[in-house]
Amino acid sequence: MKTTETHAGACEPEYFMRDGKLTRRMFIKGVGAITVASALGFGVENAGASEALADEAPAAAGEKAVHAVCTVNCTSRCHLRGTVRDGKLVRVEPGDMPGRPGYANACLRSMSYIQRLQDENARVMYPMRRTGERGSGEFERITWDEAIDEIAEKLNTVLAKDPQAASFYSFTGDLGKLSWEAPTRYAATVGATTWDIEGIMGDHGASMGMTMVFGTHRGAHDSRDYLNSKLLIVWGRNVADTHTSELRDYVAARKNGAKVIVIDPRQCSTAAMADEWIPIKPQTDPALALGMMNWIIGNDLHAKDKLVEESVAPYLIREDDGAYLRMVDGAVVATATGASKADEGSIGTAPAAQGEAGADAGTFVIWDELTGAAVPAPDAAAIKGGSVKPALSGSFTVDGVACRTAFDHLVDACAPYTLERTGEICGIDPDVVERLSREYIEAQPAGIRMGQGMQRVYHSYAPFRTVATLAMVAGYIGVPGGGASHAGGTATNKPVAGYTGPVYGFADWSDTGKKANLVPSSKVYSAAVSHDPVPIDFLWIANSNFINMSPDSNRIINEVIPAIGFIVTVDPWWTWTAKYSDIVLPACTYWEHWDLIDRSPWAMFNQPAIEPMGESKSDVEIMSLLAKKTGVEQYWDKTDEEWIRQFVGTDHPAWDDFDWDRDVVEQGIYGRSDALYDSAIVYADGAGYKTDTGKFEFYTESLVAFDEEVPTWQPPCEDPREGELAAKYPLVYIQYHDRLNVHTQHILNPALEVVQDEPLLQMNPVDAEARGIAHGDVVRVLNDRGDMKIRVFVTEGIIPGTVATQSGWTPDYFIEGCYQNLTHHTICDAEEAYSMTNSAFYDVLVEVEKA
C-alpha cells in the first residue's frame, strides 16, 4: 500500500516506505503478518511476535547484550541496547522497535549515563542518616535494618494519629510501572496522602487546555503524518532537544516540501533548522492565536461546515447566565449547577480536570435555519445529511430566553485582536501576523505541534486551548497533515473481537485495600506550612528532586521543609533534596532493576543488567521492607520479577505470541500481537471528542465566573509591560528543557561536561549593552525571591527583554544560587476552580547586573 493520494510520494524516508511492505521481519514471519489500510491511506503492518531483533548486531565474545527502557521523564522512552563486559555496562546504543523499522532512538544522555551510574562517588551507596543540620550534607552510614526501623517508628506514630498526615511524593524520576507507582501504591495501602503531581510540575496547563476543548488531556497525530502537511507550525516546543525520536519526521516532512515554522522567544535548536523562526514575546501565544483567528474569520476563510458539524459553535448560549441553553422535552430548563465528572487523569495518578456545571441537566440546543426553531443539537451525520441546518451566528429568543451562538462569543473574543494589537502584544510585526495567518489557512493542510514551553504561565490553559481552537476554526482538526497535537502520537491497538479481559494483569497491583488521599500538588506548600488541606508530619520523597524542580526553592527551604517533621528521600544520587532529608535511601536505576513500560503497542522491560550499585534497592523492594514493619506486608509479598510476570501473565490475545525468555530476557521488548503499527490521526471523521457535548468545546461553561468562557489572552502574573515590579525587574526570565539533561538526571556526567560544563544565561545584545555586560561576563540575576550567579551568553537568538537558561542544572554548577531561586508559586483562582494551578515557571521577572 502506498501513500500516492497524498503529496508524500516524493521523498519518503526509507522506514516510511517500508511500512506496509514486506519488511525483513515480516518476511521471516510470513503468514502471521497482515496489512490493513489506515485512515491515512498509509500502509500499516502487524509486527506480530518479535523475531530476534533483526537490525541489532550480535554481541562480541566476552560481552553480553542487555536491554532496557530509558525511563527518565523524557517524552521518548527509548528502547536501549547495552553491552556488559566483566559485569559492567560499557556501551549503550538504540534498540530495535519491532514493527517499526528505522525508529530506533537513543541519545548522548542515555549513552553516557552509564558512566555516572557506575560511579560510586556520585551514587548514594548505602542508607544514610543525617547528622548535621538539614542541608549540611552531613550523613552517617546505617544498615537497611536500622533505616527501616527508624522510618517505621516515625511513620507508625503519624499513621496512628492521622494517616493522611503522612505524605508520599513521587515525581517523574523513573516512569517504570513499578518504580513510579510503588511509593504512591504504598500510600494507598496505609491510607496516606499522595499528590497529583502535574500542577506543581508545570505541565498541567497543557492538560487543562486540551481537556477543555477535546475532553481529554493528550492527543497527537503520529509525527509521520506531517508528510501530509504543507505547513507545520511548531509552537513553543523545542522538539530537536526534547523529543528526538520525533524529529526525524519533521526533517522528512520538510524535505518533502512542508514549510516548518517555529514560534519561540528563542532561536531554539528546532528554530535553527526550520524554514522560519517567528520570535514571540513569552506568555503571549493566546493573543497570537486570537489574532490569527480574527484575521481568518474576518476574511471569511473559517471552516464553517466543520465548525457547525464538529464544534459547539452553533450551540446557543443564554444571555442571562452565560450557560449553554438546555431543553428537556422541547422546553427550556433552568441551568443546573454543581455536576462534575472525573477526567481520565493527568500524568501521575490523578484526575486532571472536572466537567462543566449542569452538564447532564438537559439537551444542548441549536437554532435550525430550516425550520426557524430551536432544536436539540444534532450529531454531525444529521447535519451532513441536510435534515437540519444549525445557525453558526445569530441572536435568538427561545421560550423567552435570549441567546446567542457560542461562535458569536468566540468572534467577539477575537475582535480586539487586530493585526496591530496582536503584533504589539506579541512583539511581532503585524505584516508577519497577517502572512502567518494567510499561510496557515492557505496551506490546506497545516499541522500544529504544541509544546509545554508556552504553557508555563499564569492562566496556563489558555495557550493550548486557544491554539487548538485556531486549528478548529481553520478546519484542520481530524484532517491528515493537520491537527493541534500534544504529546507523542503512536501506533494503536486493534480491538480484539469478543474479548473484554484486560491486557495486563494489574489487578493485584491495583488492589491496595485502602485508598490514598489524593491532593492537588498546587497545595503542597500550604499543606506543609498551614496544614491546608492536610498536615505533612512525615514526607517520603521518591523519583523527585523536589527542591531543584519545584518553584521558589528558597520558600521550600525556608518555609516548607522546616514545617515537616521527618523527611525520607529515596534516590540514586546525592541531590539537593536528599541533602535536606533526615534519612536518604539508595535507589537503583533502570539498568539495575525489573520494570515494565507499557508504550503501546510495545511492552518494554527492564531487568538487572548489572548488579545494583552498593546496597541500592528498587522502590518496590524498599516499600516491601517498610510494609513488613507497618502492617501491610500482605500487599507487598512479591519480588519485582514476580510482579512483572504477573503483569504479562493474562490470556489476552495481545500475548498470543509472547515468550518470556525471548521477549523479556533476551530482547527487552515485545511488539504486541493485538497492535497496529500504523500512523494515527486523532478526531478523524469528526469523531471521538470526549467532552460533555461530544463536540470540540471552545466554550467552557465553568469559566463564565472568570470571564474566560471562550479562549482569552490574560496578561502574565509578572507583567513586563507596566507596573512597579516591571520597573524593578524589567526582564522576563524563561527556562527550557535541555539537550544535555533530562531535568536533573544527567548532571555531573563527565562525558556531557565536555559539551557544556556550566549553565549559561542567554541574553540579547540590546539588553547586554544597556547593562554594560559583555559575552562571557559573570552576572547576578535577581528578583525579590532570590538570585543566581551565572555566566552570560550574548546572542541574537533570543528576543530583547527576555533572558533564558536551561532548567535542570543543579546548584553544583552555578557560580552561586540556582535558577529555581527565582521562580514562584502563585495560586491562580481560575485554574484552582477548574482543576489546579500550574506552576508558572516561565512567568517570572528579573533584573540582571554585572557581578
Enumerate the H helices of 729-796 as residue ranges: 750-753, 765-770
Name which of 473, 333, 317, 474 is nearest 409 in CA terms.
Answer: 317
- Among residues 512, 807, 835, 838, the one that binds ligand MGD under rule CB under 6 A: 807
**How many CB atoms neighbour CB 280 within 10 A?**
24
19 vs 203, which CB is nearer to ligand MGD? 203
Distance, CA of 253 to chain centre: 24
Residues 201-260 that bind ligand MGD (CB under 6 A): 201-203, 235-238, 241-243
- Residue 393 to residues 136, 318, 380, 694, 698, Cα–Cα distance (Å): 65, 14, 18, 20, 15
Are 80 and 69 contacting, i.e. CB atoms less than 8 angstroms apart?
yes
- Among residues 211, 244, 522, 691, the one that binds ligand SF4 under rule CB under 6 A: 244
* Site string (521-560) toward ligand MGD, x via CB under 6 A: ---------------------xxxx---x-----------
- Among residues 75, 157, 354, 526, the one that binds ligand MGD under rule CB under 6 A: 75
Tell me which of Mo ion, ligand MGD, ligand SF4, none is bound by residue 744, counting a contact when its beta carbon lies within the kind-specific cut-off of 5 to 8 angstroms: ligand MGD
Q: Which H or E run includes 705?
A: none
Task: Please tell me whether residue 825 binds ligand MGD under the rule CB under 6 A.
Answer: no
Are 638 and 621 contacting, i.e. CB atoms less than 8 angstroms apart?
no
Task: Please tell me whether residue 797 binds ligand MGD under the rule CB under 6 A.
Answer: no
359 vs 560, which CB is nearer to ligand MGD? 560
Provide the minimum distance between the beta carbon of 616 and ligand MGD in the complex, in angstroms, as a whole number: 9
Task: Please tell me whether residue 110 binds ligand MGD under the rule CB under 6 A.
Answer: no
Look up cell 509578572; give the residue.
Answer: 718
DSSP 571: E
Task: Please tell me whether residue 733 binds ligand MGD under the rule CB under 6 A.
Answer: no
Provide the minimum distance between the beta carbon of 286 and ligand MGD in the complex, in angstroms, as a whole number: 10
DSSP 566: E
Three-point CA angle 273, 801, 263, nearest 5°: 30
Q: Is 593 left (phi over 0), alpha (psi -120 to 50) or beta?
A: beta
Look up cell 497492535; give the residue.
Answer: 675
Tell me which of ligand MGD, Mo ion, ligand SF4, none is bound by residue 572, counting a contact when its beta carbon lies within the kind-specific cut-off of 5 to 8 angstroms: ligand MGD
Tell me which of ligand SF4, Mo ion, ligand MGD, none is bound by residue 575, counting a contact when its beta carbon lies within the kind-specific cut-off of 5 to 8 angstroms: ligand MGD
Provide the minimum distance between the beta carbon of 202 and Mo ion in the complex, in angstroms, as a whole number: 7
Task: Please tell me whether residue 76 binds ligand SF4 under the rule CB under 6 A.
Answer: yes
β 331-333/326-328 pair status: antiparallel
DSSP-assigned states of every residue in 39-108: TTS-B-----SPPS-TTSPPPPTTEEEEEEE--SS-TT--EEEEEEETTEEEEEEEPP-TTSTT-----H
CA dihedral 177, 520, 719, 440 (to 10 degrees): 50
- Among residues 172, 256, 616, 693, the one that binds ligand MGD under rule CB under 6 A: 172
Q: Which residues pair with 676 in a beta bridge?
A: 492
Task: Please tell me whether residue 454 binds ligand MGD under the rule CB under 6 A.
Answer: yes
Enumerate the H helices of 631-728 as residue ranges: 640-647, 724-728
Tell me which of ligand MGD, Mo ion, ligand SF4, none is bound by residue 78, counting a contact when its beta carbon lies within the kind-specific cut-off of 5 to 8 angstroms: ligand SF4
283 vs 452, which CB is nearer to ligand SF4? 452
DSSP-assigned states of every residue in 492-559: EE---TT--S-SS--HHHH--SS--EEEEGGGHHHHHHH-SSS--SEEEEES--HHHHSS-HHHIIII
Produce one character per residue of 15-46: b if its CB has 16 or more CB atoms within 10 Å, e if not. bbebbbeebebbeebeeebebeebbbbbbbbb
Provide the minimum distance between the beta carbon of 347 and Mo ion in the complex, in angstroms, as a whole number: 8
Tell me which of Mo ion, ligand MGD, ligand SF4, none is bound by residue 70, counting a contact when its beta carbon lies within the kind-specific cut-off of 5 to 8 angstroms: ligand SF4
Span of 67-75, 392-400, 464-472, 830-838 interacting with ligand SF4 by CB under 6 A: 67-75
**How many CB atoms neighbour CB 136 within 10 A?**
11
Task: Please tell me whether residue 164 binds ligand MGD under the rule CB under 6 A.
Answer: no
Residues 97-156 that bind ligand SF4 (CB under 6 A): 105-107, 109-110
411 vs 567, which CB is nearer to ligand MGD? 567
Task: Please tell me whether residue 604 binds ligand SF4 under the rule CB under 6 A.
Answer: no
Give contact residues for ligand MGD (rule: CB under 6 A).
72-75, 171-174, 179, 201-203, 235-238, 241-243, 263-266, 268, 280, 282-283, 285, 451-454, 542-545, 549, 570-573, 575, 587, 589, 619, 734-739, 741-745, 804, 807-808, 819-820, 823, 841-842
Give the interface with ligand SF4 as residue ranges (CB under 6 A): 70, 72, 74, 76-78, 105-107, 109-110, 244, 742
